[in-house]
Amino acid sequence: MSNTKRQIFLGIETSCDDTAVALIDATEKSVLKHCIHQQVEHQSFGGVVPDLAFKGHSKHLPNLLNTLLRSACVDKDEIKGIGVTAGPGLAGGLLVGVMFAKGVSIALKKPLWAINHLQAHALVPRLCDDLEFPYLALLFSGGHCEFVVVYSATEFYLLGYGLDDAAGECLDKVGRRLGFSFPAGAAIEVAAKMGDPLSVPLPIPMRDKSLNFSFSGLKSAALRWINIEGEKKLSFEKKANLCASLQYAIGQGIQKKVENFFENLPQESHPRAAVFCGGVAANQYLKNMLEECFSQYNVRLFTPPPKFCTDNGMMVAWNAYEKYQAGIAPSMNFSIRARWPIGV
């Protein structure tokens, strides 16, 4: 395909601690180049420090974009539009990204779209697969739990949400107490493979009839178990058992909400597809649990590859394209929104 027919979009992501930029060819649904800088400075603190994140984005974003443009073999004139995460997230990081993107938009004379970080997560599976609207989306990350119906690139109906701690936060806090570096999700998944998921009696979170989520009780129970066993006395076997049991409890809690959704829904009203997205969706064990759950209702579950689950510039670029296709006008007249719901 000739370059003149390519629809190339630039995405800029700075909502938390990862600085990411990407160029995609929306016509081919291909990633031309993705560059990311992950700030390791936060590991010693066991979580993201907003001031450090702000400084990191300010330092690395300009060089990251220069590297992207040089290595992608894309002429600046080919870029059709730009997307930048404007929320939700840490205000300092969002401000760095938005102000930088506005400058790039002016310099390159390219249209700019403000992107909702959560919507970008929910839409990026369409970059990876042939996925048509409408579909269900289960979005789980370090800061968010969302159960959503995605009707279009601009219509999101919120079915349920997190009432307190997110699943990712639960994994990170427990992982930190076990001696794993932040973020701890990947280390917990590795350790869990050598553990027994039924060995530690952890509660299944929020087993009511609602579609909302709560993982604070599960987190507290896991931390209490560590205190009782003795944090410094834990063998690797006990750590592995706790990790396996924690994953199992989280998976059971999410499955319960899926079952609640389908419980009183006639078969003819079942959605044809669902997606599992956000950083927690990189966990293969949880993905397998949800695939089995949705298969009972003849619903296909789409989960993007791990690099599309964690924060990235590709999903932001794709969302800019989705807005362009939907006829949403670009604008420079927007501000950051540290709190920005995914839908109504």
Contact 186, 172 (CB under 8 A): no
Q: Tokens 């319960």 identify what position?
A: 256
Containing 291, the helix (H) or strand (E) segment is: helix 284-295
Q: Tokens 């087993």 identify what position?
A: 207
Counting other chains too, the contacts that 100-104 makes at CB distance below 8 Å and 24 or more residues apart are: 100/12, 100/61, 100/62, 100/65, 101/12, 102/332, 104/10, 104/12, 104/65
**Sign of dihedral through CA atoms 142, 34, 338, 304?**
negative
- Sheet architecture: strand order including 30-38: 30-38, 18-25, 8-13, 79-87, 112-116
Please state the residue numbers annotated as binding site for substrate: 139-143, 172, 185, 189, 283
Longest dimension (CA), the chain: 65
Q: CB under 8 Å to 150, separation ≥6 — which residues?
A: 122, 123, 133, 134, 135, 136, 137, 156, 275
CB atoms within 10 A of CB 21: 33
Please state the residue numbers annotated as binding site: 117, 121, 139-143, 172, 185, 189, 283, 311
Please state the residue numbers annotated as binding site for Fe cation: 117, 121, 311
Torsion of CA 138, 140, 144, 146, to 10 degrees: 10
Using CA atoms, how far apart are residues 276 and 131, in angstroms rounded to an integer?
Answer: 13
Mapped onto helix, strand or coil, the DSSP state of residue 293 is helix
Mapped onto helix, strand or coil, the DSSP state of residue 21 is strand
Q: Which among 45, 46, 57 is positioned nearest to 16, based on CA atoms?
A: 57
